């Protein structure tokens, strides 16, 4: 073998080794320091969500959304075949509970749409860690599934002062994108939000991992292995207080859109919708 051939051989071997080992090196560099599983629901049972882990929101809750969140109703939320299924339906459902903040429903005796929303408030809260879900979002104009977090002081501290971390939102009107967003009040008590919505193709076609890694100084957002957004917690600092340095709880829900919301107006033809969750895990 002449010198030129040797050089070419060595160069090609170098490229081969780089191609083989670079992904492993990149993975090692990006490996999360949060490796200890401290809480999870793998949904390896049947029936309603585990009452030791989840509570319910009930009624018309926020954003003047059209769906009524039911409590402990299998038609709207159930565990089967190793997954959690949250189902939004078009149906006439007798109203059980209407808060004063939802006066637009006054005088109505039935809701036209139902769905479900569960949370760990009253069961479990955390400060810092990796919060991960593997899920398949439902496609359609007006579909609005989410995996998110709110400050555990929310019952007494109003939003946005309690802070909100949207690990994943999917808006049916933007079917190729997912959202990672942080909501808070700045040092002047003005509402602020910051986030990104990467184009990821067709997330509704399969299961994907949505995660947030929450540190003392930042929150990192992931779609599968893609880190697409980092939020600096200093932006939410107000004197010695920062909502993102306090305990938060988890939420899972399937909302429906209307005109003026990020999910867009609802198309009844897409109903029923099903948001399928393989697992929820918390690492610290």
Per-residue model confidence as pLDDT tens digits over 16-34: 444 444 444 333 345 899 9
* Whether pTM exceeds 0.85: yes
| Domain limits for position 11 | 1-31
Are 77 and 153 part of one and the same domain?
yes
Question: Which whole-number Å values give the CA distances from 93 to 78, 89, 169, 186, 250, in the listed order?
Answer: 18, 10, 26, 40, 27
d(CA 246, CA 160): 14
Are 55 and 153 part of one and the same domain?
yes
Are 27 and 91 part of one and the same domain?
no
For the chain, what is the domain count?
2
* Letter string b/e over residues 219-246, b meaning 16 or more CB atoms within 10 A of that residue's CB: bbbbbeeeebbebebeebbeeeebbbbe
Per-residue model confidence as pLDDT tens digits over 184-204: 999 899 999 999 999 999 999
The CATH number of the domain where 105 resides is what? 2.60.120.200
Are 97 and 164 part of one and the same domain?
yes
Among all residues, which ones are annotated catalytic?
164, 169
pLDDT at 107: 62
């Amino acid at each position: 073998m002449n010198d030129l051939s040797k050089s070419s051989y060595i160069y090609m071997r170098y490229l081969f080794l780089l191609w083989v080992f670079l992904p492993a090196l990149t993975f090692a560099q990006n490996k999360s320091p949060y490796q200890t599983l401290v809480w999870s629901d793998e949904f390896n049972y049947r029936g309603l969500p585990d009452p030791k882990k989840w509570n319910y929101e009930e009624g018309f809750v926020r954003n003047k959304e059209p769906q009524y969140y039911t409590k402990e109703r299998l038609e709207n939320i159930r565990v089967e075949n190793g997954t959690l299924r949250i189902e939004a339906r078009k149906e006439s459902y007798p109203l059980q509970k209407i808060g004063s903040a939802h006066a637009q429903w006054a005088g109505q005796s039935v809701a036209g749409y139902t769905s479900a929303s569960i949370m760990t408030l009253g069961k479990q809260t955390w400060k810092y860690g990796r919060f991960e879900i593997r899920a398949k979002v439902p496609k359609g104009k007006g579909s609005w599934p989410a995996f998110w977090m709110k400050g555990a002081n929310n019952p007494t501290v109003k939003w946005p002062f309690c802070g909100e971390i949207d690990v994943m939102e999917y808006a049916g009107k933007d079917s190729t994108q997912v959202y990672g967003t942080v909501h808070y009040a700045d040092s002047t008590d003005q509402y602020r939000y910051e986030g990104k919505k990467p184009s990821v193709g067709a997330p509704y076609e399969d299961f994907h991992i949505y995660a947030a890694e929450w540190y003392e100084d930042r929150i990192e957002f992931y779609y599968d292995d893609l880190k697409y957004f980092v939020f600096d917690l200093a932006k939410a600092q107000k004197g010695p207080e920062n909502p993102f340095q306090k305990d938060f709880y988890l939420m899972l829900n399937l909302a429906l859109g209307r005109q003026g919301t990020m999910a867009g107006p609802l198309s009844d033809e897409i109903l029923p919708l099903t948001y399928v969750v393989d697992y929820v895990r918390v690492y610290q």
